[in-house]
Amino acid sequence: MIRVKKIITGFFILLLYQQCSLVGIHTHVQNPKKPGTYPKQTRAQMLLARQTPRRTCYDVNYYRLNLQLGFKKKFISGEVLIRSVLRNREDTIQLDLYKNLQINALRCNNELVPYRRDEGAVFVKLPGNITTGETFSIVVYYEGTVTQARRPPWNGGITWKKAGRSGVWAGVSCESEGAGIWWPNKDDVADEADSVDLLFTLPDKPTLNVVSNGVLKQTAQNPDNTKTLSWHVSYPINNYNLTFYLGDYQLITDTFVSSQNKTQIPLSYYVLPKHSSIAKNHFQQVKQQLTFYERVFGDYPWPRDGYKLVESPFEGMEHQTAIAYGSKFKNSVFGLDYIILHETAHEWWGNSVTAADLSDVWLQEGFATYAEALYIEATQGQQAYLTYMYWQRLSIKNKRPVVRPRGIRYFSTQDEDVYNKGSWVLHSLRNTIKNDSVFFDILKTFRKENHLKQIFSENFIELVNKKTGRDYDWFFRQYLYRREAPMLEYYWVGEYFYYKWKDTGVDFNKLPVELDFGSGRKTVYPDVFLQKLKVDDPTATGMYFPGDATYFGFVKNPHLVDE
Ligand SMILES: [Zn+2]
């Protein structure tokens, strides 16, 4: 998902960056005294977020959505087939479907079976003859008006607008809400189906089209003045990434040749007809971005299913192989389209490698946000990279740790630290390791080893320790699991510079901190107890904070030496 828009303009940021390399402004961090809270969980949220035996007892390997769309505003009807393997015998399993959608019938292995609904959970009684290790199929017949998205993609649901000759332009986004907002599924981010078919039947209006994930396999005209489009996803996919776009679309095609293995990857851009010429030109940047991401993160994850940008009635979302694009074909002050850059990075971070719980969503958002900065560095140089990082740093709030509690499915748009602080965790790690070949090898290996997997932050920490041959637990304890930014308290007495850490763990004394006293940089290892440094240069009156540093703040404390 994308960050909420900032009012600060790029020009202002550039100006600020050039003027404020002095301590106090440049290094300002917010460290609120009161920690941020998490919303009180409703029964519906608890049912959606928690891992229980009724969910872990089965593993979904296939979904087939066969839905009717576009006949009535926001109304969906149809059937969803869910094929799974039973891992442990439970009499009842849990599915998820928002309670405003009506279930007309539910079958398991072709038998009608009883079910009970409780908020967004659907508890299905399994027939007694299904045994452990066996594959079974459930079909849910349902219909209803899908919840309207209040502020897509951040507050998701269905977006339904009037546009074009067919009079409709619609789409869904549901990362925070869960896919149960529009179709019945096992809504657990740790369980992805291996493949999915999506069939949409719509009124047979000549201009009306439906675009979804994967590849369009077939368009069939039906005798009753309807048509059915069948899309197929041939890779594992998160449920919240499954989507559709309904509207008058014009297709622009192109090809990307993967630099790694020379595979030809189809590029498909579905846009409103009035935007076809501007889109053709604007989307030229895609190939350069894909080339860069392949170079640093490895092969494009979905060569069979291709890469698509689909003009959406909301700003953007990383729907696998069918990225929602609603950013009006404009580049930022950095000369590129941030939505394309960010959402494309999610094909690696989020879609290929997925956080097993939203608690660890920084593995998706922090990595995608840092990927943007890496692209800026590669195409515009180090100063532009540091400016970009500085812009991200301004938004860090430090109200909650980057890794959130598990099992609560918390992902708030008000709280962007999973994006910006997540990105700064990687920037800081790079500056602490101080060896770019090791650092980039970590990123590439992390992606390669976890392609198509659902993982936690611990998997990343383990790899960092293995690749560096050192223990970086102290680093991640501070930056991922502790909410406060490390603060360097300092004071000058004569020619001595006194310093110590505040808001860190006792083991945070391994972080090299470079200080620039105007007469050259010095590396120190601050501790939670007071240390002093004699500054030889008598003209040194201030201290500068190098831009290529790790994440921490400074605070001048006149009482430091008396304590
Ligand atoms: Zn994102």
Burial 239-271 (b: 16+ CB within 10 A, else e): bbbbbbbbbbbbebeeebeeeeeeeebbbbbbb
At residue 412, does pLDDT exceed 90?
no
562 band by pLDDT with thresholds 50, 70 and 90: confident
d(CA 233, CA 320): 9
Question: What count of residues does the chain have?
Answer: 563
223 band by pLDDT with thresholds 50, 70 and 90: very high
pLDDT for the residue 540: 61
Where on the phi/psi map is residue 399: left (φ > 0), alpha (ψ -120 to 50), or beta?
alpha
At residue 545, does pLDDT exceed 80?
no
* Cα 231 to middle of ligand 1, angstroms: 24
Could you read off the pLDDT of 452-475 as tens digits, one per residue?
999 999 999 999 999 999 999 999
- Per-residue pLDDT, averaged over 82-91, amounts to 97
* Cα 339 to middle of ligand 1, angstroms: 9
**Token pair 């991640």: residue:** 476
DSSP 160: E
d(CA 93, CA 124): 5
* Cα 366 to middle of ligand 1, angstroms: 8
* Cα 350 to middle of ligand 1, angstroms: 8
* Cα 3 to middle of ligand 1, angstroms: 7
* Cα 392 to middle of ligand 1, angstroms: 14
Inter-CA distances, 121 with 43, 55, 95, Å: 10, 11, 6
* Cα 228 to middle of ligand 1, angstroms: 32
* Cα 419 to middle of ligand 1, angstroms: 8
* Cα 87 to middle of ligand 1, angstroms: 33
* Cα 89 to middle of ligand 1, angstroms: 37
* Cα 367 to middle of ligand 1, angstroms: 9
* Cα 290 to middle of ligand 1, angstroms: 16
Note the pTM of the prediction, 2 decimals. 0.95
At residue 546, does pLDDT exceed 90?
no
At residue 10, does pLDDT exceed 90?
no
* Cα 318 to middle of ligand 1, angstroms: 7
3-state secondary structure 282-339: HCCHHHHHHHHHHHHHCCCCCCCCCEEEEECCCCEECCCCCEEECCCCCCCCCCCCHH
Neighbours of 85 (CB within 10 A): 13
* Cα 446 to middle of ligand 1, angstroms: 18
d(CA 500, CA 509): 10
* Cα 467 to middle of ligand 1, angstroms: 27
* Cα 23 to middle of ligand 1, angstroms: 31
* Cα 553 to middle of ligand 1, angstroms: 26
Question: CB–CB of 517/540 below 8 Å?
Answer: yes
Strands 553-556 and 487-493: parallel
* Cα 13 to middle of ligand 1, angstroms: 22
pLDDT for the residue 19: 36
* Cα 487 to middle of ligand 1, angstroms: 28
pLDDT for the residue 395: 92
* Cα 326 to middle of ligand 1, angstroms: 14
Number of H helices, E strands in the chain: 12, 28
* Cα 95 to middle of ligand 1, angstroms: 27
* Cα 417 to middle of ligand 1, angstroms: 12
Q: What residue type is 87 in one-letter code?
A: R
Arithmetic mean of pLDDT over the chain = 92
3-class secondary-structure state, position 165: coil
Inter-CA distances, 363 with 52, 170, 306, 423, Å: 24, 30, 24, 9
- Alpha-carbon torsion 52, 57, 60, 66, what sign? negative
* Cα 278 to middle of ligand 1, angstroms: 25
Q: Per mean pLDDT, which range of 23-27, 47-51, 209-213, 303-307 is the poorest? A: 23-27
* Cα 172 to middle of ligand 1, angstroms: 16
d(CA 548, CA 128): 62
- Per-residue pLDDT, averaged over 500-508, amounts to 96
Question: CB–CB of 86/111 below 8 Å?
Answer: no
